[in-house]
Structure 1
């Protein structure tokens, strides 16, 4: 399963016993330590569920990953149902996120969810600022690209698309697991190269391996992000949880 949230989450491969070998994305560290500064020079805020400041598992190269809070699409078999509500997570100023990204050793930002396009207006500002730093932007959405370009697109969608280099579009379909391409959950989801930055990956995506990252904090808390099958995740966590004793798995 793919989990995230501010509370402790225990992973289990038995939550969806009828799904054949899903390949979930697992964001598990909350935005603790990211200050919400009311005196910020920007009045734009984003409601976020989780942040990983440096990861090699959430897109091309090393990236700063942000999981947004709130989603009305609510795909059947969603890995992150705790991100559906628009009242959870934490409000963070866009300029604070920009400074965090500037300080990180990354080549770009990945925006996941939740549903990023439900906060497209502030996220378009974030994406624009990140590109001005010379970094790339990858965005995931449950919407189809055609809808985001159409007259009924969410507020700010055009701006977020304009500042996205690589888009992954389409709902997660649990009955169509993608066991080949990296970063995506089901075969209907599409890679959209909206700039030339990652066009060179178009013919080599199948050669890029998925990754799972495990971090152990000084307090024994274990955080995991990336892609893995449920069986692989169960084996991984069984191997690290026993010796930790008091540690938490998130």
Structure 2
């Protein structure tokens, strides 16, 4: 079975200083199940809009920018295309860049379902920092760095998994 190297995206921001530390490439997933009230990017919710893009071209474009410190996956919901985002993340990590990922899911939910959903275990291996939780309008705070609402957390994935015990999560397989 061959792997389709096309990913459905809402867009790409070539250089950003607000989606993680340093200059970052931001890749916006198309499709989101959360429908957060007053979402910053409601145009990313539909699963049939956006554009199909070649992941190898995206990776090569990242490789050509020496200013980048990392890549951030945002949305839409990147975990809805985890197999595709893990393919990109693996290449990004091989370049020595960091990977941040925004998600409406909680870290706990991802851990509970990582071996039941396609690509989730793989993506979890490559994400350095997860910004988790749905945007909650009543907890919106423009003073927060890298987050839209106070319920969202900035999680160091590797350290958190070490504390919890990677063996229990079967992430080494």
Normalised by the size of structure 2, how large is the TM-score?
0.84
Equivalent position SS for 1:175: helix
Equivalent position SS for 2:53: strand
Residue 189 (structure 1) aligns with: 152
Residue 117 (structure 2) aligns with: 154
Residue 144 (structure 1) aligns with: 106
* Correspondence 1:80-229 to 2 at 5 A: 80-104=41-65, 105-151=67-113, 154-195=117-158
* Correspondence 1:223-238 to 2 at 5 A: none
Equivalent-residue separation in structure 1 for 2:121 and 2:21 (angstroms) = 23
Equivalent-residue separation in structure 1 for 2:4 and 2:31 (angstroms) = 20
Equivalent-residue separation in structure 2 for 1:86 and 1:178 (angstroms) = 28
Equivalent position SS for 2:12: strand
On the 8 A contact 1:69/1:83 being kept in 2, the answer is yes
Does 1 or 2 have the higher relative contact order (CA < 8 Å, sep 6+)? 1
Structure with greater proportional helix content: 2
Give 1 or 2 for the bigger CA radius of gyration: 1
Task: Kindly provide the CA deviation profile for residues 51-86 of structure 1, in whole angstroms up to 9, marking residues without a partner as x.
Answer: 111222221001011111100111112121111101
Alpha-carbon deviation of 1:145? 0.6
User: Structure 1 137/190 Cα, relative in aligned 2: closer, same or farther at 3 Å?
Assistant: same
On the 8 A contact 1:62/1:106 being kept in 2, the answer is yes
Equivalent-residue separation in structure 2 for 1:64 and 1:137 (angstroms) = 10
Deviates more, 1:125-134 or 1:153-162: 153-162
Alpha-carbon deviation of 1:154? 3.4
Listed as ranges, the gaps of 5+ residues in structure 1 are 1-41, 197-250
Residue 165 (structure 2) aligns with: none
Alpha-carbon deviation of 1:178? 2.4
Equivalent position SS for 2:112: coil
Listed as ranges, the gaps of 5+ residues in structure 2 are 160-173
Aligned pairs, number: 156
Equivalent-residue separation in structure 2 for 1:55 and 1:82 (angstroms) = 20
Equivalent-residue separation in structure 1 for 2:104 and 2:87 (angstroms) = 20
On the 8 A contact 1:118/1:154 being kept in 2, the answer is no
